[in-house]
Chain A
Amino acid sequence: MARAISPRKKLMWTALSWGIGLMIFFPIMWTFLTSFKSESTAISDPPVWLFFDWTTENYSTVLARSNYPLALMNSIIIAVGSTLLGILIAVPAAWAMAFVPGKRTKDVLLWMLSTKMLPAVGVLYPLVLIAKYFGIMDSRILLVVILMLINLPIIVWMLYTYFREIPGEILEAARMDGANLKNEIIYVLTPMAVPGIASTILLNIILAWNEAFWTILLTTVNAAPLTKFIASFSAPEGLFYAKLSAASIMAIAPILIMGWFSQKQLVRGLTFGAVK
């Protein structure tokens, strides 16, 4: 039976959740407001909240100065491509670790995660030289592969955790019914793990979307995604916060909208198996 919560306590928790939510959302809202201000209003002291001359000039300047559609397209292809490729490799890997664990499975998992501790810059030069050798510098395929490799440990870990929640007996029953390995993974395991796979996909798209080391250093023009687009609007010498805000909003809007529509799946996936 669920515990009864007093209305006062409920109110307190609601207020606290709203407070934390607003605190997290505030920077995005402020960036949004700043993107409609003039440069001088953007730095005015005390700050101006809502009552200023709203202008879309920053957006038109940003659009005129750079190729936003290309950067957006590159971001989508790189983020979605690397995630799907990662899932394709990670599902069998996580299946093996979850249902046929060996003596060293735990070590393998830890080793995979440990690769995330390597400072990225340590492998920058080898990777640039390899990419140059194959003639794929500044190409989407290079970034799809690199980001897939970078996020693979996380994808495998997440899927492994979800798969572990699925009773092995169900898979055994499928085997008894004559399902081979391929059918077992595709028709039995995957449908049961859909919430987990969906949230893994969403989380990894977000991670790949925000990745700002490799995407900036391995691209010039053709494969340059939104991270590089933003980098052209921040300025250490000159106050261009309004333009930077406009560029930032344009860069985060697609992922924000995607997150908004899929928040149910995200929450469901992230809390999948948390309550037994």
Chain B
Amino acid sequence: MNTKQRMLGTTVGLGLMAGLASVALAEEITIATVNNGDMVRMQSLSPQWEKDTGNTINWVVLEENVLRQNVTTDISTGGGQYDVMTIGTYEAPIWGNNGWLVSLNEGMADDWNADDLLPAIRGGLTVDGELVAAPFYGESSMVMYRKDLMEKAGLEMPEAPTWDFIREAAAAMTDRDNEINGICARGKAGWGENMAFLTAMSNSFGARWFDMDWAPQFESEAWSNTLNFYLDMMKESGPAGAANNGFNENLTLFQQGKCGMWIDATVAASFVTNPKDSTVADQVGFALAPDTGLGKRGNWLWAWSLAIPTSSEKQDVAKDFVSWATGQGYTALVAENEGWANVPPGTRTSLYENQDYLDAAPFAQMTLNSINSADPQKPTVEEVPYTGVQFVAIPEFAGIANQVGQQFSNALAGNQTAEEALENAQALTLEEMEAAGY
């Protein structure tokens, strides 16, 4: 064998080894995620991560409720179908407590800075000091209002309004002949629908779901005040058929110029200010969710986060992806490709110190203030045994709140009084909680 042949042999050999090594290292992971704009964007930018690491991703992108069914079935049976799951702030503490999620305190990329996460969001994802999910984007709720209609009514929206002001302004803006409703809010039954709105609202009225002994509190004066106020305000100034309205229905009404005010998720800000879809894009103002002066505002706190189930066999690769998607590098990548306004909001302090972002997103400060004013660890005026702002982080909550939501939605439709709805809510919650052993 001459030198040339030997060199060729060595080269081929080394090449083969390198090839084999990269084949051995390259992994395929499966990621389940919701199909909202920010997540779809993550999917479209992920080839960058695949290129950098040599790994590949199988995407399972689903509507929120279907996703929840899928990942819950998988994680509770230890199915191991998914390596990364997108979960909400409701699931994180419950699943973390069950030991179903991998701790992210260790093993994340060096430049993934946990201290940069917004404290309220981080608090909601921490179980016994372990971070069980990495926030991808966070949201709260706030008041979106029509500046022109507010001016026409001769009123000025304060930055932090009270519920009384909102009700008064709603009545003043309502012009049913011209199909303008002063206030739009969720009425459709469901734990993530009207109960998200009403639970957050009840916090600001001093109400709570349970006392420290887990006794339901729907017979309290605070709950009566909350529900009566909501029903009266919606009757005076809400749209017809409000009991069927969820996020999308109200978004449609607002974009068509049929709402004076709308209290809902901060993510709506980017929709209603988009001139392509909204007829009132240049007339929208924002304010904090209302309060009654008791120290809690009526806004919620939610984050879609990436978590790794303990049943995953590729936890290291999964951590690498989670570090990439929830790190500051990803923010810069989105900004570079799609502009600063499209960066996933509400998870990192550094984003709100970035002047480019503040310039591009006029609602940024309001989102930050809304998120900071919600404390999932201490959501109510009086002490409670649970965490969660617009939910109670126990597995039984979704089922109970769906039923309570039916009662309240029925009251909004005019089929029963507030008192009857609260009485029924109390009875069914008590029954469910006793059956669950509380």
Contact = CB atoms under 8 A, between A and B. Distances in A.
7 contacts: A39-B277, A43-B255, A65-B43, A231-B62, A231-B63, A232-B63, A239-B248
B60 A224 contact: yes
Nearest to B277: A40
A252 interface: no
Interface string B29-44: 0101001110010010
Question: Secondary structure of the A side of the interface?
Answer: loop
Interface in B121-163: none
Contacts of A66: 61
Interface stretch (A15-23, A145-153, A203-211, A213-221): A213-221
A128 B77 contact: yes
A225 B65 CA distance: 18
Contact of B271 (A216, A233, A234, A238): A238
A69 B376 CA distance: 44
B63 A236 contact: yes
B363 interface: no
Interface in A94-118: none
Contacts of A233: 35, 63
Interface stretch (B10-18, B66-74, B387-395): B66-74
B278 to A, nearest CB: 8
A234 B30 CA distance: 21
B30 A221 contact: yes
Contact of A235 (B63, B73, B77, B78): B63
A53 interface: no
A132 B77 contact: yes
B248 A236 contact: yes
A9 B61 CA distance: 53
B35 A235 contact: yes
A65 B36 contact: no
Interface centre among A43, A217, A237 (most CB of B within 10 A): A237
A129 interface: yes
Contacts of B265: 237
B344 interface: no
Given A233-B35, A239-B248, A221 B77 contact: no
Contacts of A220: 30, 32, 58, 60, 70, 81-82
A137 B32 CA distance: 16
Contact of B62 (A65, A128, A228, A237): A228
Contact of B251 (A124, A232, A239): A239
A234 B64 CA distance: 9
A65 B248 contact: no
A125 interface: yes
Contact of A221 (B35, B60, B69, B76): B60
Contacts, number: 91
Contact of B73 (A39, A128, A138, A232): A128
A216 B66 contact: yes
A137 B78 CA distance: 12
Nearest to A227: B66
A260 B54 CA distance: 47
B220 interface: no
Contacts of A129: 77
B61 A137 contact: no
Interface string B76-107: 11111110000000000000000000000000
Contacts of B60: 220-221, 224, 228, 232
B282 to A, nearest CB: 15
A138 B256 CA distance: 43
B247 A128 contact: no
Contact of A40 (B36, B58, B79, B276): B276
Interface string B175-207: 000000000000000001000000000000000
A228 B73 CA distance: 15
Contacts of A216: 66, 69-70
B267 interface: yes
Given A65-B43, A220-B30, A239-B277, A137 B252 contact: no
Interface residues of A, number: 28
A187 to B, nearest CB: 47
Contacts of B61: 65-66, 232
B309 interface: no
Contacts of B346: none
A67 to B, nearest CB: 9
Contacts of A235: 35-36, 63-64, 248
Contact of A236 (B64, B76, B268): B64
B32 to A, nearest CB: 8
A238 B77 contact: no
B290 interface: no
A137 B40 CA distance: 26
Given A221-B60, A231-B62, A237-B265, A125 B70 contact: no
Given A233-B35, A237-B36, A238-B37, A137 B79 contact: yes
Nearest to B179: A45
Nearest to B82: A220
B379 interface: no
Nearest to B256: A45
Contacts of B252: 43, 45, 239
A238 B62 contact: no
Given A40-B277, A137-B81, A237-B268, 19 more contacts: A43-B255, A66-B61, A132-B77, A137-B79, A217-B69, A217-B70, A220-B60, A220-B70, A221-B58, A224-B60, A232-B60, A232-B61, A232-B62, A232-B63, A236-B63, A237-B247, A237-B267, A238-B37, A238-B251
Interface string A228-259: 10011111111100000000000000000000
Nearest to A217: B73
Interface string B230-250: 000000000000000011100
Nearest to B311: A132
Nearest to B64: A236
Nearest to A243: B35
Contacts of B78: 132
A66 B33 CA distance: 13
Given A234-B63, A239-B271, A138 B81 contact: yes
Nearest first, the 10 closest Cβ-Cβ pairs linking A and B are: A231-B66, A221-B58, A232-B61, A234-B63, A220-B81, A40-B277, A237-B247, A128-B77, A43-B252, A231-B62
B53 to A, nearest CB: 19
A220 B75 CA distance: 13
